[in-house]
A = this chain, B = another copy of it.
């Protein structure tokens, strides 16, 4: 699936966020969602874990982000409490009070120091949380927390909003000869765009990792994965990605000088990439995953800007929905990215089908292209022949269902 330089790791299909040593999770329905789906969840760690986090760049940061930032000041976490159905965003001082109350209640019920609890919320903006329901839910959480597949699934369900499927991954590698597990769970699926989205993602890991190194790795992986996906160009108020490392695997502390660092980083990055692609594929209304690969840009940054522009183009996304090999729209998006491009030397491929060579249309088999574009994963390759910059971005098609879902989200 993912292309990484060093792939000495193995996907554990039956694994989950509780597979890394020390972690447990749980979830339940407390009533914030109108349906019976879970809407409150928690991840806990039996020891104080080294933790790293990244947050939305949106000016309007939701109240739980402020609380989590405060908890993250010492780089340690022991629990993350998450609700869906209500973002607790643009809710003023009452919203802040509510986020702090969620943290306090979770700490109390789980017997954890309050400053080691992170809070995350996702859902509708601008409505106050029903704290009666939240408190009742948090009271019920300890009985639901465990280290089994079911409890992990309960948690993964609890963080979803308009998502159709859970997004989970568990990978195993070896560090200092010790087995290390890295796992993650995430939610999309609207307001997904570079620089974080209505996106919550949680990565658990049992390696011992230097906290600063973990934060650096998280930032770098986020730039290459979560910040390279878009569903609709909107960046949410609530995006947050938290990684926790329990250190129970028994390895020597990982940092960039450790002999197995590259392996660990590649494995960690793979977990992020799988979650990011899963979010893109499950974008609101999406019928397929679209991957855009840019090569030959003047720099990687330039390639990223172009890849994001193409993956974010409503016209390209609509064409992908219609399985239309409309490379003109791809080219038009490349050309408006504001990056250096030689307009006369661009190649475009849809999968392996060359449609533009040296900026000249190539006769191709329309039937073959149609069949390819009707698949559930589509790759667009653009080579600018202008340098060595490369980037990959992921997104989805723009469909009737996207409009249906978003024309009446609140009702």
Interface residues of chain A, those whose CB is within 8 Å of chain B, are 57-61, 87, 89-92, 124-127, 190-191, 193, 195, 232-237, 312-315, 318-319, 321-322, 324-329, 331-336, 341, 343-344, 356, 359-361, 398-400, 402-411
Residues of B contacting A411 with CB < 8 Å?
322, 324
Distance of A307 from chain B, by nearest CB (Å): 15
Copies in the complex: 2
A325 to B125: give the CA distance in the assembly, Å. 12
Distance of A286 from chain B, by nearest CB (Å): 12
A318 with B126: CB separation less than 8 A: no
Distance of A93 from chain B, by nearest CB (Å): 9
Residues of B contacting A60 with CB < 8 Å?
331-332, 334-335, 341, 343, 359
Distance of A239 from chain B, by nearest CB (Å): 10
B336 with A59: CB separation less than 8 A: yes
Interface of A (DSSP majority class): loop
A406 with B235: CB separation less than 8 A: no
- By beta carbon, the residue of chain B nearest A314 is B232
If the complex has contacts A90-B356, A319-B409, A403-B399, are A233 and B312 also in contact, measured as CB distance less than 8 A? yes
Kindly name the residue among A57, A89, A409 whose own CB sees the greatest number of chain B CB atoms within 10 A. Answer: A409
Residues of B contacting A398 with CB < 8 Å?
314, 403, 406
Kindly name the residue among A325, A399, A402 whose own CB sees the greatest number of chain B CB atoms within 10 A. Answer: A402
Q: Which residue of B90, B343, B361, B406 contacts A359 across the interface (Cβ within 8 Å)? A: B90
A319 with B407: CB separation less than 8 A: yes
Q: Which residue of B126, B332, B344 contacts A331 across the interface (Cβ within 8 Å)? A: B126
A-B contact pairs, 9 of them (CB 8 A): A89-B332, A90-B328, A125-B332, A126-B331, A234-B332, A314-B398, A315-B406, A318-B403, A319-B409
A127 with B235: CB separation less than 8 A: no
Distance of A404 from chain B, by nearest CB (Å): 7
A336 with B235: CB separation less than 8 A: yes
**11 further contact pairs, Cβ within 8 A, besides A92-B360, A234-B315:** A59-B343, A60-B335, A60-B359, A90-B328, A126-B356, A237-B331, A237-B332, A319-B406, A324-B409, A400-B403, A400-B404
Residues of B contacting A408 with CB < 8 Å?
322, 324
Distance of A370 from chain B, by nearest CB (Å): 9
Distance of A316 from chain B, by nearest CB (Å): 8
Residues of B contacting A360 with CB < 8 Å?
92
- By beta carbon, the residue of chain B nearest A406 is B318
Distance of A271 from chain B, by nearest CB (Å): 26
B407 with A321: CB separation less than 8 A: yes
- By beta carbon, the residue of chain B nearest A358 is B92
B59 with A234: CB separation less than 8 A: no
A283 to B249: give the CA distance in the assembly, Å. 58
Kindly name the residue among A314, A325, A410 whose own CB sees the greatest number of chain B CB atoms within 10 A. Answer: A314
Residues of B contacting A404 with CB < 8 Å?
400
A14 to B222: give the CA distance in the assembly, Å. 58
Residues of B contacting A328 with CB < 8 Å?
87, 89-90, 124-126, 237
If the complex has contacts A124-B328, A234-B336, A328-B126, are A402 and B318 also in contact, measured as CB distance less than 8 A? yes
Residues of B contacting A90 with CB < 8 Å?
328, 331, 356, 359, 361
If the complex has contacts A400-B400, A406-B315, are A236 and B321 also in contact, measured as CB distance less than 8 A? no
A191 with B406: CB separation less than 8 A: no
Residues of B contacting A326 with CB < 8 Å?
409-410
